[in-house]
Amino acid sequence: MKYELVSGLETHVELSTKTKIFCGCTTEFGGEPNTHCCPVCIGLPGTLPRLNKKVVEYAIMAGLATNCEIANISKMDRKNYCYPDLPKAYQISQYDMPLCKNGYIPLSNGRRIGITRIHIEEDAGKLVHQDGNTFVDYNRGGVPLIEIVSEPDIRSIDEAREYVEKLQLIMRYIGVSDCKMQEGSMRCDVNISVRPAGSEELGTRTEIKNMNSISYMTKAMEYELDRQIDILESGGKVEQETLRYNETENTTSSMRGKEDAHDYRYFRDPDLVTIHVGDEEIERIRALLPELPDKKRERYRSELNLPEADIQLLTKYRSIAEYFEAACEGVKRPTVVANCIIGQIFRRLENDDAKEKFEIPVSPVDLRDLVLLLDSGKIRMNLLKSTRADQRKGPWRSGRSGAEGAVRPVDRREPERRSGLPLRQGKGAQGPARPCDEGDARTCGRAAGGKNADRADPEAAVRQKDPVLFNLKKERRKSCGFHQRRQPHLFSGRKREADRGDHFPESFGHEGQHRPHVCGRQPARPGRRRKARSGRRRNHTRPEEKSGRHLPLCGEMVSKKSKFFGYPRKDRYSHP
């Protein structure tokens, strides 16, 4: 016999108010145990609660966003039960006159999951089990909640997942909660029953309490579905009970028998007044709602013609969608903006928390100016991508704004530019290869007889500003008298030979081998070696190099263990 899943969810969402629902204590997450509570929180005799107006407003916003009817008159009730984390022995909630009712959430398959009610209530404390003891932390007690109760309309585990994800997205968009399930600000109680396929009669339900992860929720539903089917097929009967889920063993176990409404002995709270909400107030709150995710996605499909995968990523968080729309103003091709955000920005954000905050140094105006320059043909796509990378590394902090500050191309020689040393010239830079100037004392370490030899130490600024860069340049100056053709420039765009494990200086583990000279003569490509001409030796070595004496080009001793690969001919240099 085939069985059908019937499920409904009770979702608790902590509201993002600054204070608790009935007192002025903070709702900040964390803190030392029992430091965010007061006599009202723990229900000491003689205290009176006072309803937080912002809680009612947030609950109405949640009801409007989920297509609910808003009640003009509602009241608060006491839900009586005894548990260690509930010091008053009752919870202030709503029973027969909730604030919102008769809503729904549409799914991607065309079905609607009905919402029975949304009511406001206070949260309970927290039990901490440690070393065989149980401790109570009342910091969470009195934090405002809305409980969203769905109809038993869910028919598959995929529908349950989509329902929770959509609910979480809506609550984040309207700003009533951050819905961080790992912090307990959103958690679900899952009600499950099974019945023969095609039957209209509901089976006996069980409830899995306090699911704070969507993945664990789906695993618990799979296990409980199989368990109930096995019981029915073996001729047994499912008992109505409350269960807990064990993540380690992927099993459910009984906590207590499942209560019905009459077990809680609801009655109206005599300390709180009736809640009156006029139509004008409802319309004022409706005007505060942003564009909801479903409408935004439909607009992106019809007006911007974005791919479905991009739409899902851009609308996952409200901050990203607002950034995207601000960057798209006046742009002919919104897909380019979407590609920049998804391809260039997302890969630099570490996790979902960073994407939710979306605190990046590049403003939407800068990104828009870049895309406008691309549309006008002034820059190409590869320059736009490299500029985005440059903006993330820090040179964008030049104080310039708009296109002027945004389109500065990436300069891979930026460390040399900041150091004050002469820049490398050569193929791939800004002109032909420049021969080494023995008078350039800053480059060649105050070469003997140079015009800058009598200057103060030119390396002091570099050493003080960037010791790592100074040490690398010191290693490179050792190779001033020759150019190794199989070794690319230290700051070139190619992958260094050092990354492949050969031709490093001794400070990196290979003694006696050198980096190319700081003047930056462009070496040949790795793997290519010029064929020796007839009548010439392959490696030309000067007598000074054989003897290891002081070279006139550098002012540094050359290691005797160094190997010279094709020393250039004399006529390629201007010095004697």
pLDDT cut 70: percent of the chain above it: 65
Residues 275-309: tens digit of each pLDDT? 999 999 999 999 999 999 999 999 999 999 899 99
Out of 323-337, 468-482, 513-527, give the one with best mean pLDDT. Answer: 323-337
- Closest alpha carbon to 339 in 299, 369, 301, 367: 367
Task: Give SS3 for 382.
Answer: helix
Same domain, 23 and 149: yes
Q: Work out the pLDDT band at 320, boundaries 50, 70, 90.
A: very high
Q: Work out the pLDDT band at 358, boundaries 50, 70, 90.
A: confident
Alpha carbons 455 and 447: distance in angstroms, whole number:
12
Please tell me the predicted confidence (pLDDT) of residue 384: 62
Residues 79, 259 contacting (CB under 8 angstroms)? no
Same domain, 302 and 273: no
Residues 211, 187 contacting (CB under 8 angstroms)? yes
Same domain, 172 and 40: yes
pLDDT at 443 over 80: no
What is the torsional sign of CA 283, 284, 285, 288?
A: positive
Residue 108 lies in a domain: yes
Same domain, 396 and 484: no
Where is the domain boundary, 250, 283, 316?
283
Same domain, 314 and 239: no
Please tell me the predicted confidence (pLDDT) of residue 385: 63
Domain total in the chain: 3
Residue 506 lies in a domain: yes
Which helix (H) or strand (E) segment holds residue 319: the answer is: helix 318-327
Average pLDDT over residues 455-463: 56
Choose between 244 and 469: higher pLDDT.
Answer: 244
Residue 127 lies in a domain: yes
Q: Work out the pLDDT band at 561, boundaries 50, 70, 90.
A: very low
Alpha carbons 413 and 490: distance in angstroms, whole number:
9
Which helix (H) or strand (E) segment holds residue 127: the answer is: strand 126-130
Alpha carbons 261 and 466: distance in angstroms, whole number:
71
pLDDT at 400 over 50: no
pLDDT cut 90: percent of the chain above it: 44
348: tokens are 């630099």
Same domain, 211 and 93: yes
Residues 210-225: tens digit of each pLDDT? 898 999 999 999 999 9
Residues 415, 466 contacting (CB under 8 angstroms)? yes
298: tokens are 């439909």
- Closest alpha carbon to 482 in 509, 503, 463: 503
Amino acid at 354: A
pLDDT at 557 over 60: no
Residue 168 lies in a domain: yes
Same domain, 397 and 454: no
Alpha carbons 46 and 48: distance in angstroms, whole number:
7
Task: Give SS3 for 93.
Answer: strand
Q: What is the DSSP letter of 395?
A: G
Q: C-alpha distances in angstroms, 143 versus 121, 403, 461?
A: 9, 47, 57
Q: Work out the pLDDT band at 123, boundaries 50, 70, 90.
A: very high
Same domain, 154 and 212: yes
Residues 485-534: tens digit of each pLDDT? 444 444 444 444 444 444 434 433 344 444 444 444 444 555 555 555 55
Q: Work out the pLDDT band at 370, boundaries 50, 70, 90.
A: confident
Alpha carbons 183 and 407: distance in angstroms, whole number:
41
- CB-based burial label for 151 (10 Å; 0-12, 13-18, 19+): middle
Residue 156 lies in a domain: yes
Where is the domain boundary, 243, 258, 283?
283
Which helix (H) or strand (E) segment holds residue 336: the answer is: helix 334-339
Same domain, 391 and 438: no
Please tell me the predicted confidence (pLDDT) of residue 83: 85
Alpha carbons 18 and 398: distance in angstroms, whole number:
38
Same domain, 205 and 320: no
Residues 100, 117 contacting (CB under 8 angstroms)? yes
Burial pattern 217-236, b for ≥16 Cβ within 10 A else e, equals bbbbbebbbebbbeebeeee
Same domain, 452 and 325: no
Same domain, 203 and 61: yes
Range of the domain at 492: 414-576
Residue 573 lies in a domain: yes
Please tell me the predicted confidence (pLDDT) of residue 403: 39
Where is the domain boundary, 238, 264, 283?
283
Please tell me the predicted confidence (pLDDT) of residue 575: 45
Average pLDDT over residues 99-112: 95
Q: Are strands 90-93 and 77-80 parallel, antiparallel or unpaired?
A: antiparallel
Average pLDDT over residues 363-377: 85
